[in-house]
Amino acid sequence: MRAYKVQKVVGVRATLLGEQTAENDKNLLLSNYIETPEFRSILETKDSTVVVGRRGTGKSAMYLRLAKFWKEEKNNYVIQVAPEDYQTIGFRSLFKIFDAKYSHVRAAARIIWKYGFLLEILSHISRNYKLKESFSCCPAAVEHVKKWSSSSADFLSTLSNILRVILKSVDDPDEAISTLSFDLKIADLERDLENLLSKSNVNFYILIDRLDEGYENDETGAAIIAGLIAVVSEINKRYSNIRPVLFQRDNIIRSVAKYDPDYTRNIEGEVIRIHWDTHQLLKLVTKRLDAAFNLQIENSQKIWDRCTADEGADRELQGQLGFKKCLQFTLYRPRDLLSLLNQSFFEAGKQDRNKIVLSDVEKTAKYISENRLDDLKKEYQSIIPVISCAVSVFSNGSPEMTYLEAIEKIDALSITIQNDSSAEAQQDYRILGSDGVLRALYSVGFLGTHDESSGSFNFCHDGRNPDREFSSEDKILLHPCYWIGLNLSKNALSPEDAEQINDEYEINVTSVTPEIRVQKIGTLISEIGSIKTGREDASSFEQWVTRALQTIFAGHLSNIVPHPNGSAVQRRDIVGTNLIKTPTWQHIHNTYEVHQVVFDAKNFSELSIDAYRQLSTYLTGPYGRLGFIVSRNEEETIKVGAELDWVREIYYTQNKLIIRITYKTLTRLLSKLRNPEKHDAVEQILSNMLDLYERNYLSLQTTRSKSKKRHS
């Protein structure tokens, strides 16, 4: 038997099998590309125009390989569009005029994308010496190509610059669409192109990739992509010598399907999906191993066995079962697998070994899992401040549970979150509640739900709400890529189970959480409308104020409860403990000696002197010398008159400050909290309110006129 020898792996680089992203790994990718059935279908037919795949499944690799293949053939011209995120964001700004109306954005997008592709093709034709004379006889093409060619910017930036000039003078969305079609002379350009193509033997290939960079998963974003798909489909069918191919992530296509009523009829038939099986993944890896170690072995399984070793019973890494053990940590994606094996060979090299063993793979899988968990927390911290605390409650347990068990774990946050968590995290939990937190974790792909019809667990990564309401019977599964990082009782999937995961791992800053926040806060704000002013609904108003204060001052005050001393003679309405965590609450503590903050809820639009005097009697001991009255007054500021005099009288005679806030102030603060990035708005408004009292109200002279005093 011929002996094969693998070179030593000492000092091997951490990217032995290539970079994780195709853009950074062009040379190795192109020389070791695996021609999948999807790749051959795009090459040999014009049946599909949209290549769909999850992140890391090889869309960009196919994009580069197709570009190389088509460029090598004579009479071919390849147009490549692969924008950076800032280019996509700038392009999206063109559509602000359409107010996020799907039909308008989609219609405008069709015109704009078509114009860009027409000009790219016509620009190339204009430089073809055989067609110069014919081109000069096409006035529309000459005019627009001159404008297009004067820019040295990238495709989307050039398109944006031209369109911005046209749209800046238009305010009406309907007019803007008709203006675009007229000013861009789409019909004339199409007629010129057909005429020129009939006299040319050049084939044009349009490849579009990386539109997920800078993409926003909303109605406008979906409409822009839907318009693009309509254009590439139309061009593909209309021109025999033009072949457009769009590469798109699966979650974006699902978003289009959600918003586009014509998806099934117009778009679904254009899609071809990338799928990898065990055989293809083994071939992918071993082809790169063969190149890296110069093995010169043709059989894929023999290459794998030459680069791996067994550690004993149940610790085999060789053979087909050994390779599947690696796949247990990857969910069958090329990028995951290459990342895992790159680091595993690096670990072996550090120990002067020329083969990897299962312990290398397990150690690497743990490292990757912990990094992904950290990435999840960092990327979503600004959107979901409670996320770090929320994911930690699932540590050291089972990855699979029922909905009720998951809610029970999150319920525990109500106690633990008050200790070391930030004010933003506490506020976030108070707003979302346990069910809202669970939905937020679903929306970012941390956990998935079981679909009884398909028998698989579905994971969402595009910020969508679950397709149905969670029920107590639902099965919940934590995403397998976090299992090891959370130290769960199970650390890998069987190959059969892995194939049942409908998943799209990605870190993309988008989440359904803002929608949940808006819904929860909106519900709380709307409840005040059903509470009538007066004694009859006084209890309901007090309960509403309590919940509003618990939401607004989460992280500022703790243990906000009504009637904490209900049996006492002086029964204070609502009290919260001052955590002294912000400058304003520190000032209230240091200046007014407030440890326990009193809020007296009065369900009346006009307050009496008795209400102020009653609250002043509460302000003793730990309650300090400052308290709040919450009223139903429509005016947030105190008008000149008796009420302002009462505030000054109590302050100067008793050295106590009573601040009146209204239900409108509370609803305004709640509205600010719709955006988690505005969590400091509470501190700012409270600080301004305190400044108003200390600087203005308390320094004013009596606010009642002399004539009124004489009359009294």
Task: Answer yes or no: is pLDDT of 564 > 70.
Answer: no
Classify residue 93 by its DSSP letter.
Answer: G
Classify residue 263 by its DSSP letter.
Answer: I
Q: Tally Cβ neighbours within 10 Å of residue 151.
A: 13
Q: Give the architecture-level CATH label for domain 517-706.
A: 3-Layer(aba) Sandwich (3.40)
Task: Answer yes or no: is pLDDT of 21 > 70.
Answer: no
Task: Answer yes or no: is pLDDT of 508 > 70.
Answer: no
Arithmetic mean of pLDDT, 291-295: 86
Q: Is 668 exposed, middle or buried (0-12, 13-18, 19+ CB in 10 A)?
A: middle
Confidence label for 286 from pLDDT (cuts 50, 70 and 90): very high
d(CA 425, CA 446): 18
Bridge partners (DSSP) listed for residue 520: none
The pLDDT, as a whole number, for residue 705 is 52
**525-548 pLDDT tens trace:** 889 989 999 999 999 999 999 999
Domain extents for the chain? 37-273, 278-370, 387-510, 517-706
d(CA 694, CA 237): 73
Element (H, E) at 481: none
Task: Answer yes or no: is pLDDT of 407 > 50.
Answer: yes
Confidence label for 455 from pLDDT (cuts 50, 70 and 90): low
Arithmetic mean of pLDDT, 653-680: 84
In the block, tokens 């998943």 appear at 503
For 128, 449, 475, 674, the CA distances from 491, given in Å and listed in that order, are 60, 19, 18, 37
Task: Answer yes or no: is pLDDT of 354 > 50.
Answer: yes
For 317, 548, 570, the CA distances from 543, given in Å and listed in that order, are 62, 9, 19
Element (H, E) at 295: none
Strands 242-249 and 447-451: unpaired
Q: Is the dihedral of CA 327, 330, 335, 337 positive or negative?
A: negative
d(CA 579, CA 417): 14
Task: Answer yes or no: is pLDDT of 357 > 80.
Answer: yes
Helix (H, G, I), strand (E, B) or coil at 580: coil
d(CA 448, CA 503): 9
Q: Is 589 exposed, middle or buried (0-12, 13-18, 19+ CB in 10 A)?
A: middle
Residue of higher predicted confidence among 674 and 434: 434
Count of positions (residues) in the chain: 712
448 φ, ψ (degrees, to nearest 5): -130, 170
Q: What percent of the chain has pLDDT over 90?
A: 42
Q: Who's near 348: CB < 8 A, 6+ residues apart? A: 9, 12, 354, 355, 356, 357, 360
Task: Answer yes or no: is pLDDT of 588 > 90.
Answer: yes
d(CA 221, CA 214): 10
Q: Give the range among 86-90, 166-170, 201-205 with minimum mean pLDDT.
A: 166-170
Among candidates 241, 138, 252, which has minimal Cα distance to 187?
A: 138
Helix (H, G, I), strand (E, B) or coil at 52: strand
In the block, tokens 């989440």 appear at 511
d(CA 376, CA 508): 9
Q: In what order do the strands lie in the sheet with 557-562?
A: 557-562, 574-578, 596-601, 626-631, 657-662
- Give whichever of 114-123, 251-260, 320-329, 494-503 has the largest mean pLDDT: 114-123
Q: In what order do the strands lie in the sheet with 447-451?
A: 400-402, 475-478, 447-451, 456-458, 501-502
Q: Give the range among 178-192, 253-267, 297-311 with minimum mean pLDDT.
A: 253-267
Confidence label for 175 from pLDDT (cuts 50, 70 and 90): confident
